[in-house]
Amino acid sequence: MSAQAIPILMVVGTAALLSLLFLGLSGWLGPYRPNSLKSTTYECGVPARSTVQIRFFVRFFLVALLFLLFDLETVFLYPWAILFRSMVAEGRAAFALGEMGAFVAVLVVGFVYVWKKGGLEWQ
Amino acid sequence: MSGDLVFYGFALLTVLSGFFVVASRNVVHAAFSLLFTLFGVAGLYAQLGADFLAVTQTVVYIGGILVLVIFAVMMTRIPRGDAPRRGLDRAVPAAILALLVFALIYMVIVGTRWPERAAGAPEATVAEIGTGLMTTFVFPFEYASLVLLAAMVGAAILIRERAPADDAADADDAAGEGEVRS
Amino acid sequence: MQVMTDLFARIFGDGLSSLGLLVAGGLTMALIMALVMASCAIVFTWAERKVAGFIQSRYGPMRVGRWHGVLQPVADMVKILGKEDIVPRDADKPLFMLAPFVIFVGSLMAWAAIPFAPGFIAADLDLGLFYIFAVSSAATIGILMAGWASNNKWSLYGAARGAAQAVSYEIPLALACIPVVMITGSLNMNDIVIAQQGGIWRWHFLHDPFLFVAFLLYFVASIAEVNRGPFDLPETESELVAGYHTEYTGMRFAFFFLAEYANLFLVSCVATAVFLGGWQPLFGPVFLPGLVFVIKAVLLVLLQMWLRWTLPRLRVDQLMHVCWKVMVPLALVCVLGAGIWMLATGQAG
């Protein structure tokens, strides 16, 4: 177990315990008087339909997909960026920049294609 | 000792929530349950000293793929609540397939000669990975960009083909969204 | 963390193993972080109302606590504790109850890697910056969970917008930090701050023109990332009631509220550490590092409040336009430009 990760576990535990504590406190202090009107879905005053049947736009899915691809790119960029400084010192920075440039350029081609196809238009 | 405890904690979290993903008859619950499965796997990576992999797991799987899965689940017009219980005609083939996959993975695990690593504090893995990307694995690295390009082109095609259907869906659903879009 | 483990080592001598020290130190730091988070929510809710008041030529809260309503947030907190916890009949109960926890825990987890002062960081990770992005990206799941579980169309639309916005702006956010990583050669938050030692001219946002643009990109993206005005589309009160937390009441609502202000401070802290020199003062030797850090971060928070109450809200299509067509390409140019700059000047300093 890397020692660095132990505090994170502590933080997760503390956050979970504290939130439970406050929720319990609120449950103890607060009233509990449910009635059928109170537990209806909020709909600005008019009676609500029982369930929501919204089909999400395909756009949202596409945004998530684009995000995923760029996210993967940044994941690759981080280890590269860490080494860039030492590559500059060793005089191999041009190679490093070229290599990552090629990687990003290929992605940018795809990005431009999506752009031209109208994938970035919200309307 | 305490390291073992942490391992069993994460393993239990992963397996239990993974079981819930499979067993739940509510597809949205199954999707959200993946959060804990993926978090557990990230924890296991961290526990093994693969810190970069652990964080990447969180960024890509929880922040990216899980959001994608949830959007996909919400995009399909699924009924809320539990799906009806299916008969054995689906469970049996699924179980056989799962057993076969398990057998395959088991054989690979047993058959591989795993490189032993000297015990001790693991070095920072990021720099190693970065070096790998720029020396040994230059070609696979650049190849990965082509794979991403293919995915992006796929996304563009999805846009083109779905556009008319999307408009039709907007018309009957998007009461709230319509105000913004006008 | 170092501060705490040293403290415990001094108190207990050899009574605690190194693991015990780590656990005790981590626990204390976690509690301190929770305390800071709670107090920043208290201070900022008051500050927000006062700032909004002054910008709109009115006073804001004036009564509770005699002087300018300073105790108003405390009164609010007590009130919220005594509120009923309502779970709507049609809600997806387990997910509805779980969502505030996911958001709250995720928010506090990200705080673990903020370096408030030398040695005063809950989790001194080699991958600190990357870790913060990872954990805050997980908050998107909490938003979607809340929106879906409420079974209310306002909540669902708010959640969908919130998630789409959060994931979109995460790209320029993460890309804008890469030039800094290139300069420091590290993702460790402590290292990043230490690299900016020696006065304001050494701070990263003044390193070169590309980094200045990167800082602006980070700042704008971070406002969008925490869903605040002018990017507060997920909770546009005129369209979506209150967005994804429409159905939440009492303490569960408070968790969303707390997380919002905690995240506001979090992104400002990251901006401070990454671009604005962290605990390094404007000039001269390190002096009261924790205070310097907090002052910088609070100034950024006030700037964000100013923007929120001054600028009109964007439309959804404008939001996506700005992100994907302006900020992402610009961020990529910044990364490339910073690389060329380093190459041209021949050194990293």
DSSP C30-72: HHHHHHHHHHHHHHHHHHHHHHHHHHTTS----STTSSTTTTH
Q: Out of A5, A66, A107, name the one closest to residue B149 (CB).
A: A107
**Each residue's pLDDT tens digit, C209-255:** 888 899 999 999 988 888 777 777 666 666 666 677 777 777 788 88
What pLDDT sits at residue B182? Answer: 28
- Chain A residue at shortest CA distance from C125: A4
d(CA C87, CA C99): 12
Contact B59 C148 (CB under 8 A): no
Residue numbers in B near A8 (CB within 8 A): 46
What pLDDT sits at residue B178? Answer: 34
Nearest chain B Cα distance for residue C204, angstroms: 22
Cα C277 vs. chain centroid, distance in angstroms?
17
What pLDDT sits at residue B175? Answer: 37
What pLDDT sits at residue A122? Answer: 67
What pLDDT sits at residue C349? Answer: 46
pLDDT surpasses 90 at A83: no
Judged by CB atoms within 8 Å, which residues 225-284 of C form the interface with B? 239-240
Nearest chain A Cα distance for residue C54, angstroms: 31
Nearest chain A Cα distance for residue C157, angstroms: 9
Mean pLDDT, chain C, rounded, equals 81
Mutant choice from B70, B152, B172 vs C, greatest count of C C-beta within 10 A: B70
Nearest chain C Cα distance for residue B137, angstroms: 20
Residue numbers in C near B66 (CB within 8 A): 141
Scan for tokens 């993702």, then name that residue: C187
Residue A15, chain B, CB below 8 Å: the answer is no
3-state secondary structure of C126: coil
Q: Out of A39, A57, A78, name the one closest to residue C88 (CB).
A: A39
Judged by CB atoms within 8 Å, which residues 47-86 of A form the interface with B? 51, 53-62, 64-69, 71-73, 75-76, 78-80, 82-83
CA dihedral C44→C48→C49→C51, nearest 10 degrees, is 130
**Quick check: ipTM above 0.85?**
no
What pLDDT sits at residue B124? Answer: 63
Rank C59-68, C199-208, C256-265 by mean pLDDT and report only the highest: C256-265
Residue numbers in A near B130 (CB within 8 A): 79-80, 82-83
Q: Out of B62, B71, B176, name the one closest to residue C137 (CB).
A: B62
What pLDDT sits at residue A48? Answer: 61
How many alpha carbons lie under 13 Å from residue B147 in its C-beta half-sphere?
A: 9
Closest CA to B65 of B98, B44, B27, B37: B37
Burial status of residue C39 (CB atoms within 10 A of its CB: 0-12, 13-18, 19 or more): exposed
φ and ψ of C117, to 5 deg: -160, 165
- Compute CA distances B169 → A64, B128, C316, whole Å: 19, 49, 18
Nearest chain B Cα distance for residue A27, angstroms: 26
φ and ψ of B137, to 5 deg: -110, 30
Give, for A80, the enclosing helix (H) or strand (E): helix A58-90
Scan for tokens 């981590």, then name that residue: C26
d(CA C191, CA C314): 37
Mutant choice from C157, C239, C251, C316 vs A, greatest count of A C-beta within 10 A: C251
What pLDDT sits at residue A57? Answer: 65
Residue numbers in C near A86 (CB within 8 A): 185
**Each residue's pLDDT tens digit, B17-65:** 998 888 887 888 888 888 899 989 988 888 877 888 888 888 889 888 8
What pLDDT sits at residue B161? Answer: 57
List subunits contacting chain C, requiring 3 or more Cβ pairs under 8 Å.
A, B
- Compute CA distances C7 → C31, C198, C289, whole Å: 15, 29, 18
d(CA C33, CA C56): 33
**Each residue's pLDDT tens digit, C53-96:** 888 888 877 777 778 777 888 888 888 887 777 777 777 788 88
Q: What is the mean pLDDT of residues C167-191?
A: 87
Residue A46, chain B, CB below 8 Å: the answer is no
Give the whole-number percent of chain C exceeding pLDDT 70: 90
What pLDDT sits at residue C65? Answer: 73
Q: For residues C18 and A97, which has the higher predicted lDDT (pLDDT)? A: A97
Contact A62 B155 (CB under 8 A): yes
What pLDDT sits at residue B170? Answer: 45
**Does the CA dihedral C1-C2-C6-C7 come out positive or negative?**
negative
3-state secondary structure of C74: helix
pLDDT surpasses 70 at C180: yes
**Each residue's pLDDT tens digit, C106-155:** 888 888 888 887 877 777 788 888 889 888 888 888 888 888 877 777 77
Question: Buried (b) or exposed (e) across B153-169, using 16+ Cβ within 10 A?
Answer: eebbebbeebeeeeeeb
Q: Out of C126, C156, C171, name the one closest to residue A52 (CB).
A: C156
Q: Out of C123, C241, C324, name the one closest to residue A42 (CB).
A: C241
- Domains of chain C, by residue range, sit at 40-61+87-345
Task: For domain A3-116, give the CATH superfamily.
Answer: NADH:ubiquinone/plastoquinone oxidoreductase, chain 3 (1.20.58.1610)
- Quote the pTM value: 0.84
Residue A87, chain C, CB below 8 Å: the answer is no
Contact B66 C167 (CB under 8 A): no
Q: How many residues does chain A have?
A: 123
Residue A50, chain C, CB below 8 Å: the answer is yes
d(CA C214, CA A77): 15
Burial status of residue C44 (CB atoms within 10 A of its CB: 0-12, 13-18, 19 or more): buried
Q: What is the mean pLDDT of residues A104-123?
A: 80
Q: For residues A117 and C135, which has the higher predicted lDDT (pLDDT)? A: C135
Tokens standing for residue C301: 């928070």
d(CA C250, CA C243): 16
Residue A116, chain C, CB below 8 Å: the answer is no
Contact A83 B158 (CB under 8 A): no
What pLDDT sits at residue B176? Answer: 38
DSSP C250-291: HHHHHHHHHHHHHHHHHHHHHHHHHTS-TT--SSSS--SHHH
Contact A13 C30 (CB under 8 A): yes
Q: For residues C277 and C233, which has the higher predicted lDDT (pLDDT)? A: C277
Per-residue confidence band for C4, with pLDDT thresholds at 50, 70 and 90: low
Residue B78, chain A, CB below 8 Å: the answer is no
Rank A27-41, B26-40, C32-46 by mean pLDDT and report only the highest: B26-40
What pLDDT sits at residue B1? Answer: 52
Print pLDDT tens along chain B (182 aa): 566 788 888 899 999 999 888 888 788 888 888 889 998 998 888 887 788 888 888 888 988 888 888 888 877 766 666 666 666 677 788 889 999 999 999 999 898 887 776 555 556 677 778 788 777 888 888 888 888 888 888 887 776 655 554 444 444 444 333 333 32
